[in-house]
Structure 1
Amino acid sequence: MKGTPRIIFIVILMLGLGVVPLLADYFDEPFYTVMFSRMLILSIGAVSLNLILGFGGMVSFGHAVYLGIGSYMVGIGTIHAVEDGIEWMANGFLQITLAIVFSALTGLVIGAISLRTRGVYFIMITLAFSQMLYFVAVGNERYGGDDGLSLYMRSDFNGLIDITNDNSLYYLNFVFLLLSLYLSHRLINSRFGMVIRGAKSNEQRMRAIGFPVFRYQLVAFVIAGTICGIAGVLSANQTEFVNPSVMHWTRSGDLIIMTVLGGLGTLFGPVIGAVAFLFLEEFLSGITEYWQLYFGPMLVLVVIFARGGIDGILVRLDIWWSRNSTVKNEEVD
């Protein structure tokens, strides 16, 4: 059956992610719940970036800004709840709402300016905004400055879910990952997604047809930012620590690498890439502190010999499987 190897791999991956806490508890290895929880959060960030990079062709080196915004919504809310007694600021629903609002507004501003340029100029503007907001966070001593903030408590969801438990937080992350994948699927397969992908291939033709390309791209930019902002809220609760490095341009580079490694412009590619990236990071960092020296050549080989990333390899396996099945069926006939 056509597509079987790829489908089987994705199903096993998602089911595997769904049972990680159960296996970690069974083998008494809580570390893996925390590690895979981080994978889920970065997968959400990579899925959001894929909307504009993989499907829209917009290379943003400022995407981690939204991770920072979401993280600081939790950090700021927590510090006021604990130190100033403003308990409602620790409310998780409020923090997610604020992360969505501020991420959307930031995405609107950055997108409105950067999308008027193309190529390296677009990249440089997103990079400039990233560094500007990074240094704003570094210079804000009230909220930790360069040292960051330690969270004395996790977000409070009014008793609906207790994320002080790592397993509960893991499944909250998993639910948000599924929601981000569902939203991405619906968007890309809608008229909106067709315009975004069409603009990536031939923007002038899409304009000639009559589509307001700038408006569509701006909306995609805002949506991607809001999804990544939610990932920031989850990240802050996972690490129980917030500092400016979360929005540094190198973190955006990590998200780009995850997306490219997994497969640009594919639905599950960013998830595959995030899992592979963090697995390699964990494995190589256990061998040497200079693990990037080994990871770099690996990434180069993937880009050169595995076009479409890991998902591209799975697609080629699908083709081989289909041809092999066809030959066998003809022999039987």
Structure 2
Amino acid sequence: MTDLTQTLAPARPGLAGRLRLALCIFAVLAVVPPLAHALDEPFLIVVATRMMVFAIAALSLDLILGYGAMVSFGHAAYLGLGAYAVAILSRAGIDDLVLQLLAAMAASAVFATVTGAISLRTRGVYFIMITLAFGQMAFFFFVSFSTLGGDDGVALAARSTVLGMPLLQDAPGMFYATLALLVAVFAGLYRLTLSRFGRVLTGTRESALRMQAMGFRPFPYQLTAYVIAGCLCSVAGVMLANQAIYVSPAYMSWHRSGEMMVMLVLGGVGSLTGAMAGALVTIALEEGLARLSEHWRLGFGLILVGVALFSPGGLSGLLRRVGLVRDAK
């Protein structure tokens, strides 16, 4: 009971190590466009934007996996729902990013509520398999959606507008809009995980039975976290569609869910800063290794093996071990 009591205790005031590290990451990201301009490498802005999109997705997954111990192999479904919300609304003449975000989150909330209420009645490998099944159902639904290109996907006519303004049309505008959403998602989850809700969710991860003995029903907390995670992942989907100006069912395949889990493993499960850093490093490694060799996946796999063997806590664990960050979570 001691661990649970500490988990439910109020967080200490002041800036934790994870928040300081996150601020450093945001500061570095903010200078990417002027740096890319100085180096005459505009592609860096495109890559960095993609990195931040998946950082948002990784943060959403970490809420349920790292804090709620819910291993979902269908989380990429919400990435696809966000992307297809852009495609469907664009065809209906609705190009405003705010409306598309709201529609994507609403659709994801409904899907997550229904599927989560069913999935959370299972545990362990059964939870993994049922979330995988729901994710694949969404995947094959859009594969058969012939009016939106089916398996080939569909190209968008243009990027979304923001309150009628074409802020996303150029690469720097797209970059800073994505950065703003990343900061907002991180800040929201940071406050949520430090709240009573977050502490109860973490306590449920440690021992659901003990939480019940303390008077908390785990199911409502887990379902709420599951819905929040789905909604936030759909935000990443909306931005991914705008960044690529293209939407495909491949966004919601189980392979994409697996890639998100790899990001968490690399950065550190149960650490918001680690999840964000893991996504940034994963995309950067993929881009960098792909330029070196067509067999880049072999090198990436060796890196993951090294992380699993020598730093099970990922980048967060490594930083804590060397003493650079006292509280990397």
TM-score, normalised to structure 2, is: 0.91
For 1:330, the equivalent position in structure 2 comes to none
Tell whether 2:247 aligns with 1:235.
no
For 1:15, the equivalent position in structure 2 comes to 27
Specify which of 190, 196, 217 is matched with residue 191 of structure 1. Answer: 196
Tell whether 2:187 aligns with 1:182.
yes
Specify which of 245, 260, 271 is matched with residue 276 of structure 2. Answer: 271
Measured in 2, the distance between the counterparts of 1:136 and 1:4 equals 44
Displacement of 1:313 in angstroms is 0.5
Measured in 2, the distance between the counterparts of 1:145 and 1:161 equals 29
Displacement of 1:90 in angstroms is 1.7
C-alpha offsets along residues 36-83 of structure 1, whole Å, 9 cap, x if unaligned? 000000000000000000111111111110000000011112233xxx
Measured in 2, the distance between the counterparts of 1:187 and 1:10 equals 16
For 1:62, the equivalent position in structure 2 comes to 74
Distance 1:321 1:310, change over 3 A: closer
Tell whether 2:50 aligns with 1:38.
yes
Distance 1:139 1:43, change over 3 A: same
Measured in 1, the distance between the counterparts of 2:128 and 2:49 equals 30
Measured in 2, the distance between the counterparts of 1:163 and 1:116 equals 42
Displacement of 1:140 in angstroms is 0.7
SS in 1 for 2:105: helix
Task: Return 282-291 or 108-117, whichever deviates more.
Answer: 282-291
Measured in 2, the distance between the counterparts of 1:203 and 1:186 equals 22
Alignment of 1:133-172 (within 5 A): 133-160=138-165, 162-172=167-177
Contact 2:320/2:326 (CA < 8 Å) preserved in 1?
no
Tell whether 2:287 aligns with 1:282.
yes
Distance 1:204 1:320, change over 3 A: closer
Contact 2:19/2:273 (CA < 8 Å) preserved in 1?
no
Alignment of 1:1-333 (within 5 A): 10-80=22-92, 87=93, 89-160=94-165, 162-318=167-323
Measured in 1, the distance between the counterparts of 2:18 and 2:68 equals 24
- The letter of the residue matching 1:290 is H
Contact 1:57/1:200 (CA < 8 Å) preserved in 2?
yes
Displacement of 1:109 in angstroms is 1.2
- The letter of the residue matching 2:106 is V
Q: Identity of paired residues, percent?
A: 45
Contact 1:6/1:314 (CA < 8 Å) preserved in 2?
no
SS in 2 for 1:286: helix
Distance 1:72 1:253, change over 3 A: same
Segments of structure 1 that go 5 or more residues without pairing to the other structure are 81-86, 323-333
Contact 1:5/1:314 (CA < 8 Å) preserved in 2?
no
Displacement of 1:175 in angstroms is 0.6
Measured in 2, the distance between the counterparts of 1:209 and 1:11 equals 36
Displacement of 1:26 in angstroms is 2.0
Measured in 2, the distance between the counterparts of 1:96 and 1:4 equals 31
Segments of structure 2 that go 5 or more residues without pairing to the other structure are 1-14
Which structure would you say has the larger Rg? Answer: 1
Displacement of 1:8 in angstroms is 7.0
Task: Return 312-321 or 245-254, whichever deviates more.
Answer: 312-321
Displacement of 1:172 in angstroms is 0.7
- The letter of the residue matching 1:158 is L
SS in 2 for 1:264: coil
- Two-structure CA RMSD over aligned residues (Å): 2.0
Distance 1:306 1:290, change over 3 A: same
How many residue pairs end up in the alignment?
313
TM-score, normalised to structure 1, is: 0.90
Contact 2:74/2:131 (CA < 8 Å) preserved in 1?
yes
Measured in 1, the distance between the counterparts of 2:326 and 2:227 equals 39
